[in-house]
A and B are shown apart, each in its own frame.
Chain A
Amino acid sequence: MKPVLTTRGLTRRYGRRTALSDCTITVPSGKVVGLVGPNGAGKSTLLRIAAGALPPTAGEIEVLGGRPGSGPGQLAKVAFVAQDTPVYAGLTVGDHLRFGAKTNPRWDDAMARERLKSLGLKLDQRAGRLSGGQRAQLALTMAVAKRPELLILDEPVAALDPLARREFMQGLMAHIAEHEGSVILSSHVVSDLERVCDHLIVLVDSRVRADGEVEDLLAGHHRLTGPRRDTADLPGDVIAESHVGRQSTVILRGPAPEPDPAYEVEKLSLEDLVLAYMSSDARPALEMA
């Protein structure tokens, strides 16, 4: 299937500071794709460029076969929920709906009203008075009522408490269960994405460090622990290694190593796997399509 987003050498500078440097990435369509990486990896910049909210300084980007921000048709296909899920504080919830209906050709008013009702949001409430969780839900409602082909969410739950986080993800997943489309969401917390993503991309310093279906990533990595050893003769690629005293701990990419009673071989949690990539900058990037 045609990817939903591709970039080549995408770069964005702010004066002398480079926020995204020579980023080349392919995001598959029809999936929930998680974009993880440490703060400053370029996630927000990449997503804002993809949404058409920010022009790149150099490089190429294609989103759903078009150039971001190239016209009303392109804008209608992509919905973007920026970091901190902004809403218009002075407007009521109902004003938001009227605004959405006026500015979006494919606006689904019935769906928006139904969603807000089930969340207990009243139309005469001022957005500035809503709790963080309610504001996030309003922003999500605005985005999904556009009926986008691609929904982009930048750190949507970062500012929310655990209950609001869960409620937000429940709402997002329930929406995906009923509607076609692709979703890209970013987070610097892997556990936020673990259950909701089909596909994960790890971005560190504008570079793709790991990229694949969550299940393939989990099946394709192992932690080997045992007596201190040289890692050169191990099968697969060494992603991270630490040698302390008499012990070696190695994180390997590839099939499970041959059983050896002296070494314990374990699967990694997604979080440990991502952290291994984040802390091993010098290693080659991973492709697991």
Chain B
Amino acid sequence: MEYVVIEFHLDGRSGVSPYMQLVQQVRRAVRLGMLTEGDRLPTVKEVVARLAINPNTVLKAYRELEHEGLAAAKPGVGTFITHRITDSSLAAHDALRGELRTWLDRATAAGLDAESVEALFVTTFREHTETRTEEPA
């Protein structure tokens, strides 16, 4: 079991901070079943030796994953996936998609073109996520 299961990569132009990119890649790998319960994440040294990034960036990403309950650190051994996403949120998708469609119809009726709709969504989404991350844990 002591082999590297996934390899991280970073996109310098994505606008997403490096630590969040690592978090997202683990979440995605878990969701896709590439990572399952008991898998060891690459060690901090392995990640920084590959990506040439600050070790604190990796530590911060792993802490975030622990906080989310997706992974747990075993001191001196490594950080392990503790969770299987049996995506229970999947059931909610249909209803949410319907509401989003209604909202898009209203936006078009109000005279917004595709670009304005996207800009409005992206800025609101960004504000929303930022307020959420600013709240104390």
Contact = CB atoms under 8 A, between A and B. Distances in A.
A173 B56 contact: no
Given A195-B18, A267-B15, A166 B55 contact: no
B50 to A, nearest CB: 7
Interface stretch (A90-98, A143-151, A174-182): A174-182
A138 interface: no
Interface string A237-261: 0000000000000000000000100
A171 B45 CA distance: 10
Q: Chain B contact residues (Cβ within 8 angstroms of A): what range?
A: 20 to 34
B75 to A, nearest CB: 15
Given A177-B45, A215-B17, A267-B15, A170 B50 contact: yes
Nearest to B56: A198
B17 A177 contact: no
Given A215-B17, A259-B123, A267-B15, A196 B52 contact: yes
Interface residues of A, number: 21
Contacts of A178: 45
A119 to B, nearest CB: 12
A169 interface: yes
Interface string A22-40: 0000000000100000000
Interface string A202-216: 000000000000010
Given A170-B49, A173-B49, A174-B45, A195 B15 contact: no
A46 interface: no
Given A170-B48, A195-B18, A176 B10 contact: no
Interface string B39-68: 000001100111111111110000000000
A197 interface: yes
Contacts of B58: 177
B67 to A, nearest CB: 17
Contact of B53 (A196, A218, A265): A196
Contact of A177 (B12, B18, B55, B127): B55
- From B18, B52, B58, residue with most partner A Cβ within 10 Å: B52
A171 B17 CA distance: 22
Contacts of B55: 173, 176-177
B123 A176 contact: no
B135 to A, nearest CB: 15
A4 B51 CA distance: 27
A176 B48 contact: yes
A170 B52 contact: yes
Contacts of A173: 48-49, 52-55
Nearest to B57: A195
20 contacts: A32-B56, A170-B48, A170-B49, A170-B52, A171-B49, A173-B52, A173-B53, A174-B45, A174-B48, A177-B44, A177-B55, A178-B45, A195-B18, A196-B52, A196-B53, A197-B54, A215-B17, A259-B123, A259-B127, A267-B15
Interface of B: 10, 12, 15, 17-18, 44-45, 48-58, 123, 127
